[in-house]
Amino acid sequence: MEGGTVVRRPVLVLFAAAALALLPFAAAQPWPRCNRSSGNYSSGSTYEANLFNLITDLRGNASSSPSFFASGSAGTGGASAVYGLILCRGDVSASDCFDCGTWSGRDVQSFCDRARDVALVYNQCYVRVSDTDFLASPNNTGQARLISGTNISSGVDVAAYDRAVTALLNATARHAVGNSTGRLFATARHAVGNSKGIAF
Ligand SMILES: *[C@@H]1O[C@H](CO)[C@@H](O)[C@H](O)[C@H]1NC(C)=O
Ligand SMILES: *[C@@H]1O[C@H](CO)[C@@H](O)[C@H](O)[C@H]1NC(C)=O
Ligand SMILES: *[C@@H]1O[C@H](CO)[C@@H](O)[C@H](O)[C@H]1NC(C)=O
Ligand SMILES: *[C@@H]1O[C@H](CO)[C@@H](O)[C@H](O)[C@H]1NC(C)=O
Ligand SMILES: *[C@@H]1O[C@H](CO)[C@@H](O)[C@H](O)[C@H]1NC(C)=O
Ligand SMILES: *[C@@H]1O[C@H](CO)[C@@H](O)[C@H](O)[C@H]1NC(C)=O
Ligand SMILES: *[C@@H]1O[C@H](CO)[C@@H](O)[C@H](O)[C@H]1NC(C)=O
């Protein structure tokens, strides 16, 4: 819990806890965010080798760490340096976390046409890789927007619903941080109206 990573982890967990649970588990994965202006690397390049080495490393480190989180870089400086992180959901098994890292290595090229800056969201984990050192700042970049496609039923008070969502997210984030078992993860459910429920 000490050190620089603690600053940005809660931000990521808040994002991930919200994003990962919004869509039904049956939906197609991953949800990619390809940075179209980050440029491409070519097949067989040092960048590509560094990228795969990094993902392999982060997969092992994240799945074996108490926090289910790992970040780091491969390649030293220059154009072939790659920075990345893997964050697994706090309620999956270590082997599911590891498998999610494997999927990200399989998908990282095909979903974004070898873009250098890519985020992949799976139900089990969030993966970000980039040629830019996004780890140096706690800014929450690399978000992938996930929208369930299910609308609030007509007749529901939208403003009240929005306030409930904000309060629930806020409480869930505080719970994840305050009652952390090391994974900074929490889920919560808040009923709105009769049978309408929202869960994170
Ligand atoms: C380069 O990446 C962009 C997306 O970032 C993609 O649209 C384009 O097809 C890629 N080009 C090559 C040659 O891979
Ligand atoms: C996309 O990549 C470019 C070039 O590295 C960078 O300047 C920009 O901030 C990135 N965009 C996002 C949304 O991360
Ligand atoms: C993974 O963990 C090992 C052992 O702590 C460390 O040496 C290595 O740098 C880590 N990898 C990355 C990419 O951070
Ligand atoms: C990113 O963080 C730095 C400080 O770490 C800050 O100066 C900068 O304004 C932030 N950028 C954004 C887009 O939030
Ligand atoms: C949700 O609402 C938007 C905006 O009113 C509409 O375009 C969309 O079709 C609705 N989706 C569903 C699943 O009803
Ligand atoms: C979230 O909760 C904290 C602590 O109760 C409060 O200070 C903050 O204003 C809340 N934020 C929102 C957006 O409700
Ligand atoms: C921590 O958990 C306890 C028991 O579930 C709860 O009462 C308390 O509000 C939680 N703390 C936070 C910060 O959510």
Residue 45 belongs to a domain: yes
Residue 149 belongs to a domain: no
Residues 31 and 67 grouped into a single domain: yes
Nearest CA to ligand 3 atom 4: 61
157 CA distance to ligand 5 middle (Å): 16
pLDDT on residue 131: 96
Answer yes or no: are the C-beta atoms of 142 and 51 closer than 8 Å: no
Domain of 169, in residue numbers: 158-199
Residue 151 belongs to a domain: no
Q: Which of 19, 5, 1, 38 is nearest to 137 (CA)?
A: 5
SS3 content of the chain, % helix, strand, coil (to 5): 40, 20, 45
Residues 115 and 170 grouped into a single domain: no
Which one of 114, 116, 117, 130 would you pick to mutate in the ligand 1 pocket, going by the greatest count of ligand atoms within 8 A of its CB?
114
Residues 187 and 114 grouped into a single domain: no
Residue 146 belongs to a domain: no
Q: State which of 106, 136, 166 marks the end of a domain.
A: 136
130 CA distance to ligand 1 middle (Å): 15
Residues 167 and 122 grouped into a single domain: no
Ligand 5 binding pocket includes 154 (Cβ within 6 Å): no
Residue 142 belongs to a domain: no
pLDDT on residue 45: 96
Q: Quick check: bond before 32 cis, omega within 30?
A: no
Nearest CA to ligand 4 atom 4: 137
Residues 95 and 172 grouped into a single domain: no
Mean pLDDT of the chain, nearest integer: 83
Residues 18 and 81 grouped into a single domain: yes
Q: Which residues, judged by CB distance below 6 Å to any ligand atom, belong to the binding site of ligand 7?
A: 174-175, 178-179
Residues 33 and 131 grouped into a single domain: yes
Domain total of the chain: 2
pLDDT on residue 180: 67
Q: Which of 42, 64, 43, 20 is nearest to 186 (CA)?
A: 20
Residues 131 and 173 grouped into a single domain: no
pLDDT on residue 71: 97
Q: Which residues of the chain have pLDDT under 50?
A: 1-26, 194-200
pLDDT on residue 192: 64
Residues 65 and 123 grouped into a single domain: yes
pLDDT on residue 10: 35
pLDDT on residue 179: 77
pLDDT on residue 189: 86
Residue 64 belongs to a domain: yes
DSSP 134: G
Nearest CA to ligand 5 atom 14: 151
Residues 11 and 49 grouped into a single domain: yes
pLDDT on residue 61: 98
pLDDT on residue 190: 82
